[in-house]
């Protein structure tokens, strides 16, 4: 380090000091190596996930029983059942996932955005101090609890009076996932709105705009990239959500748009397959876990990357 | 405004419906007993609480130091070396991506790596010892002619049954040792009682008996709390790193510059100035991440399976154990409707757990903010 000669010239006990600086330097190198090793863990996790998904799902796709073309086109999936002919079209699982995600987004995006706009632009200090913790508590509720809520409350008390819903249905799961995503959208979008500088707002007020006009015409466009990335993040969260759908959405994969029926999702299939103790490494149903997980990972990864690109490219930076 | 009221209503409905359903099932017995098959009245969450605690301990012990280390590397060390700089950027990019990976994928990773280790050590079978292990003793147990179970040391741990043909040293149930008396099949049973107690016919089979100490360790880890805890650690690692980075960014640069000016090197600055003043932020982030781990069920379900209870309890880190979220899940999907109420009671326990952790986080934030105020 550059302070070594300085210590040398000033300090009469330079010899002693020099040694300690040296050992401090050596210690610093040791620490740096330790920190790099820590950072390696996250890299290793990513490489582990990617390698695992490719390596193990190749056992599925390269199997003699599987044709890749039927995996991407067939609309029947029966790998969860032990008997009968094997169908392995991914579409029923995909349709289950997107049905539930769609309902969840219908709830989370409008409500979350309105909540964020209200909190950031209209709420008084006191309402904020009350509502922010409420959103934080809602965000901290474990997903398995929301799944339980969907089965014991949403289906029997909210949905059954309105229409003919199966005991386990996609709508209840979708609503619960929506509740789960709402605080996420709200807090991320609020952060984005808050980071719009005060000067922009003041300028618009100075031109005679109302508070509503300022919000809609100035603040929202300025925060748009942050809002979109918050929506994308919650979208990928909804797609990967597991415990709610396992509890509430049922275990029959169906290829339809009807939210009243049982709709197994990709994550739901993975968990159901794990639960049946028959899964042994080397069997087709074992490999099918990885194949489905690979599709799931590909979708969420694409969404995450898209969110990052949008945030990086379209972010308005104010000094 | 209406929407926000709706949020409050949702939260209240959720909490009251659960309190209504599970409240009457909460009792001291519920907290101190274990899951009983087909008997909701006698079931409880004792093992699940212990399991949750141990799993989270493993998770925190791994994730918090590694997370803080990574964040310090990302925030405080801006390397000048070309390769290190590339590495630095890659890690930062990677963390943002990892935060978006579904937790079930981490669960599959945990299963593949921690439980099976990609099958490098061959297929892992039931009733076969793990490839590498420590802290386990293998004995054969055999019934002597005096109807007494005795044990003797196993030479090969992979052999489940062993035919006795030669005398070996045996241990009785009360700990006393003796030599085994092997008599040929043609001879009759000895009449002497003491001799009868330690005699077997030649060719009698002893079956393997494994006993594990509390520090029992095996590799691959198998379906146990160690594997589950490490998997959870991977899940919350990005959260801890991001929270720690935020906390480190909040430390004013003037503090760093002043310490550099005193002749400190980078690590001394980090250790002596930056980390202490970022502690409240780091600790709040770590506790919030841990509370995420407490409520996470999917990855553990993938790694350990849906365990509801074990007969011997948690004796070492390689053992399976139920945890609260999985207990909730299994009870909620049980055919017996009584278990649904129990599940609600378990949810109350879990929420109280989470509430306490959050209260600690808020307390720390409040305490340190007060102290650090100029």
In angstroms, what separates the C-alpha of A142 from chain B's closest C-alpha? 5
Residue B374 has pLDDT above 70, yes or no: no
CB atoms within 10 A of CB A175: 26
Say which residues have a Cβ less than 8 Å from residue B278's Cβ, sequence separation at least 6. B244, B247, B248, B250, B251
Question: What is the predicted pLDDT for the residue at B118?
Answer: 76
Q: Which of B1, B5, B6, B7 is the best residue to mutate to test the A interface, defined by the most A CB atoms within 10 Å of its own CB?
A: B7
**Is residue B371 within a helix (H) or strand (E), and if so which, with residue range?**
helix B337-372
Nearest to B350 among A24, A142, A153 (CB): A142
What ipTM did this prediction achieve? 0.87
Rounded CA separation B99/B162 (Å) = 52
Q: Is B268 on the interface with A (CB under 8 A)?
A: yes
Rounded CA separation A165/A155 (Å) = 8
Backbone angles phi, psi at B190, to 5 degrees: -65, 145
Nearest to A240 among B4, B104, B296 (CB): B104
- Using a CB-CB distance cutoff of 8 angstroms, which residues of chain B are in contact with residue A237? 100
Nearest to B298 among A111, A135, A271 (CB): A271
Residue A6 has pLDDT above 60, yes or no: no
**Which of A163-177, B186-200, B334-348 is the least confident region?**
B186-200
For residues B213-223, one letter each, b for 16 or more C-beta atoms within 10 angstroms of the residue's C-beta and e for the rest, the string is: eeebbbebbbb
Question: What is the predicted pLDDT for the residue at A157?
Answer: 84
Question: What is the predicted pLDDT for the residue at A3?
Answer: 47
Residue B371 C-alpha from the chain's centroid: 36
pLDDT band at A308 (very low <50, low <70, confident <90, very high): confident
pLDDT band at B371 (very low <50, low <70, confident <90, very high): low
Binary contact (A300, B241; C-beta < 8 A):
no
In angstroms, what separates the C-alpha of B29 from chain A's closest C-alpha? 22
- Using a CB-CB distance cutoff of 8 angstroms, which residues of chain A are in contact with residue B119? 281
Q: Which of B297, B306, B308, B324 is the best residue to mutate to test the A interface, defined by the most A CB atoms within 10 Å of its own CB?
A: B297
pTM of the full structure: 0.87
pLDDT > 70 in chain A, percent: 90
Contact A103, A276 (CB under 8 A): no
Which range has the top average pLDDT, A87-96, A198-207, A255-264?
A198-207
Binary contact (A267, B294; C-beta < 8 A):
no
Rounded CA separation A164/A162 (Å) = 7
Q: Looking at chain B, how many residues does it have?
A: 374
- Using a CB-CB distance cutoff of 8 angstroms, which residues of chain A are in contact with residue B106? 45, 49
Question: What is the predicted pLDDT for the residue at A19?
Answer: 53
Rounded CA separation B330/B325 (Å) = 9
Say which residues have a Cβ less than 8 Å from residue B9's Cβ, sequence separation at least 6. none
Question: What is the predicted pLDDT for the residue at B128?
Answer: 67
Question: Region B128-139: what's the mean pLDDT?
Answer: 76
Q: Is B23 on the interface with A (CB under 8 A)?
A: no
> Which residue did the predictor score with more confidence, B179 or A153?
A153
What are A318's two structure tokens?
Answer: 């104010």
Encode pLDDT of B31-82 as tens digits: 888 888 777 888 888 999 999 999 999 999 999 999 999 999 999 988 888 8
Q: What's the sign of the alpha-carbon dihedral B86, B89, B92, B94?
A: negative
Question: What is the predicted pLDDT for the residue at A235?
Answer: 93
Burial of B281 (0-12, 13-18, 19+ CB in 10 A): buried
Backbone angles phi, psi at B66, to 5 degrees: -65, -40
User: Reading across the β-sheet that carries B161-163, which strands appear in turn?
Assistant: B161-163, B205-219, B132-143, B149-153, B169-172, B177-179
Residue A12 has pLDDT above 80, yes or no: no
**Is residue B169 within a helix (H) or strand (E), and if so which, with residue range?**
strand B169-172
Encode pLDDT of A173-208 as tens digits: 999 999 999 999 999 999 899 888 889 899 999 999
**Which of A144-148, A247-251, B234-238, B289-293 is the least confident region?**
A247-251
Judged by DSSP in three states, B118 sits in helix
- Interface list for B 123-182 with A (CB within 8 A): 123-124
- The number of CA neighbours under 13 Å toward the Cβ of B2 is 1
Burial of B343 (0-12, 13-18, 19+ CB in 10 A): buried
pLDDT band at B125 (very low <50, low <70, confident <90, very high): low
Residue B104 has pLDDT above 90, yes or no: yes
Q: Is A7 on the interface with B (CB under 8 A)?
A: yes
Q: Is B45 on the interface with A (CB under 8 A)?
A: no
Encode pLDDT of B3-39 as tens digits: 777 888 888 988 898 888 888 888 888 888 888 877 7
Binary contact (B118, A274; C-beta < 8 A):
no
What are A234's two structure tokens?
Answer: 């919650």
CB atoms within 10 A of CB B141: 16
Question: What is the predicted pLDDT for the residue at A108?
Answer: 93
Q: Is A301 on the interface with B (CB under 8 A)?
A: yes
Residue A8 has pLDDT above 50, yes or no: no
Contact B138, B151 (CB under 8 A): no
Q: Is A286 on the interface with B (CB under 8 A)?
A: no
Rounded CA separation A257/A237 (Å) = 21
Nearest to A149 among B7, B17, B77 (CB): B17
> Which residue did the predictor score with more confidence, A316 or A253?
A253
> Angle at Cα A25 formed by Cα A20 and Cα A29, nearest 5°?
145
- Which of these, B226, B246, B336, B10, lies nearest to A181 by C-alpha position? B10
Question: What is the predicted pLDDT for the residue at A204?
Answer: 92
CB atoms within 10 A of CB A162: 9
Q: Looking at residue B202, what DSSP letter applies?
A: T
- Using a CB-CB distance cutoff of 8 angstroms, which residues of chain A are in contact with residue B115? none
Say which residues have a Cβ less than 8 Å from residue A123's Cβ, sequence separation at least 6. A131
Q: What's the sign of the alpha-carbon dihedral B329, B331, B337, B343?
A: negative
């Amino acid at each position: 380090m550059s302070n070594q000669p300085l210590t040398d010239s000033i300090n009469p006990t330079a010899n002693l000091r020099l040694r300690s600086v040296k050992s401090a330097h050596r210690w610093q190198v040791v620490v740096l190596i330790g920190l790099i090793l820590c950072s390696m863990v996250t890299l290793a996790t990513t490489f582990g996930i990617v390698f695992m998904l490719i390596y193990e799902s190749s056992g599925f796709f390269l199997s003699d029983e599987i044709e890749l073309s039927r995996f991407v086109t067939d609309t029947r999936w029966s790998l969860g059942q032990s008997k009968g002919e094997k169908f392995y079209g991914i579409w029923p699982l995909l349709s289950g996932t997107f049905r539930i995600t769609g309902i969840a987004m219908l709830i989370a995006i409008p409500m979350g955005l309105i909540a964020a706009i209200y909190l950031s632009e209209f709420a008084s200090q006191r309402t904020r101090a009350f509502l922010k913790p409420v959103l934080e508590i809602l965000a901290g509720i474990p997903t398995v609890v929301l799944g339980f809520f969907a089965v014991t409350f949403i289906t029997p008390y909210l949905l059954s009076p309105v229409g003919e819903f199966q005991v386990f249905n996609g709508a209840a799961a979708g609503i619960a996932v929506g509740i789960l995503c709402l605080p996420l959208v709200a807090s991320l979008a609020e952060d984005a709105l808050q980071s719009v500088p005060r000067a922009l707002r003041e300028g618009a007020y100075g031109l005679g705009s109302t508070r509503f006009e300022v919000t809609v015409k100035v603040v929202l466009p300025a925060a748009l990239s942050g809002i979109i990335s918050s929506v994308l993040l919650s979208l990928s969260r909804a797609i990967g959500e597991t415990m709610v759908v396992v509890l509430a959405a049922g275990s029959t994969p169906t290829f339809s748009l009807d939210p009243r029926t049982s709709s197994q999702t990709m994550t739901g299939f993975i968990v159901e397959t794990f639960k049946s103790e028959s899964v042994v490494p080397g069997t087709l149903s074992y490999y099918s876990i990885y194949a489905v997980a690979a599709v799931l990972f590909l979708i969420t990864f694409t969404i995450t990357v898209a969110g990052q690109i949008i945030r990086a490219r379209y972010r308005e930076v104010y000094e | 405004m209406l929407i926000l009221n709706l949020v409050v209503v949702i939260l209240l409905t959720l909490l009251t419906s659960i309190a209504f359903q599970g409240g009457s099932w909460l009792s001291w017995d519920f907290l101190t007993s274990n899951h009983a098959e087909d008997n909701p009245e006698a079931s409880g969450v004792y093992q699940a609480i212990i399991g949750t605690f141990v799993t989270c301990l493993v998770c925190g012990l791994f994730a918090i130091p590694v997370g803080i280390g990574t964040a310090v590397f990302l925030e405080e060390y801006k390397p000048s070396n070309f390769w290190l700089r590339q590495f630095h950027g890659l890690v930062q990019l990677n963390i943002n991506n990892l935060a978006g990976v579904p937790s079930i994928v981490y669960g599959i990773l945990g299963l593949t790596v921690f439980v099976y280790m990609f099958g490098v050590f061959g297929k892992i079978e039931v009733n076969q010892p793990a490839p590498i292990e420590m802290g386990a003793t293998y004995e054969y147990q055999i019934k002597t002619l005096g109807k007494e179970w005795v044990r003797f040391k196993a030479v090969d741990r992979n052999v489940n049954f062993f035919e006795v043909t030669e005398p070996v040293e045996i241990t009785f149930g009360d700990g006393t040792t003796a030599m085994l008396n092997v008599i040929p099949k043609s001879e009759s049973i000895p009449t002497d009682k003491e001799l009868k107690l330690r005699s077997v016919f030649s060719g009698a089979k002893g079956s393997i008996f494994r006993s594990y100490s509390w520090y029992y360790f095996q590799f691959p880890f198998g379906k146990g709390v160690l594997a589950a805890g490490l998997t959870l650690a991977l899940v919350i690692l990005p959260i801890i790193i991001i929270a720690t980075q935020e906390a480190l960014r909040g430390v004013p640069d003037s503090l760093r510059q002043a310490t550099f000016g005193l002749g400190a090197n980078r690590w001394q600055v980090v250790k002596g100035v930056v980390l202490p003043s970022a502690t409240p932020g780091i600790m709040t982030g770590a506790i919030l991440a841990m509370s995420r781990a407490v409520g996470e069920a999917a990855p553990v379900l993938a790694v350990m399976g849906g365990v509801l209870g074990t007969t011997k309890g948690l004796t070492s880190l390689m053992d399976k154990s139920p945890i609260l979220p999985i207990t909730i899940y299994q009870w909620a999907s049980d055919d017996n409707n009584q278990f649904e109420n129990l599940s609600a009671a378990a949810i109350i326990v879990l929420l109280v757990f989470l509430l306490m952790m959050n209260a600690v986080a808020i307390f720390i934030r409040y305490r340190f903010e007060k102290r650090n105020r100029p």
